[in-house]
Amino acid sequence: MNTIHIGHKIQEVFEATEHSISWFAKKLNFDRSNIYSIFNRKSIDTDLLFEISEILHYDFFSIYKPQV
């Protein structure tokens, strides 16, 4: 099984949006430094992942589903 580094995937999707870190931090009600912390996480709380999915319009849960 491949290990998923969710923080890297969030960063990849975020960078494709061309929004600023400040914008993302404001949407999550976090400091900017917390955003960089998210990008470094190998795992993440599901409530936070759901919120990030909503903000970035990307279903991060889908990357955990087995490919058929």
Residue 20 φ then ψ, to 5°: -85, 160
Written as one letter, the residue type at 52 is: I
**Terminus-to-terminus CA distance in the chain, angstroms?**
14
**Confidence band, pLDDT 50/70/90 cuts, at residue 2:** low
- Are the beta carbons of 56 and 13 closer than 8 angstroms? yes
pLDDT of residue 67: 72
Domain residue ranges of the chain, discontinuous segments joined by +: 6-64
Alpha-carbon span 13 to 26, nearest angstrom: 17
- Mean pLDDT score of the chain, rounded to an integer? 94
pLDDT tens sequence across 17-45? 999 999 999 999 999 999 999 999 999 99
* CATH level 2 (architecture), domain 6-64: Orthogonal Bundle (1.10)
Q: What is the mean pLDDT of the segment spanning 1-27?
A: 93
**Confidence band, pLDDT 50/70/90 cuts, at residue 3:** confident
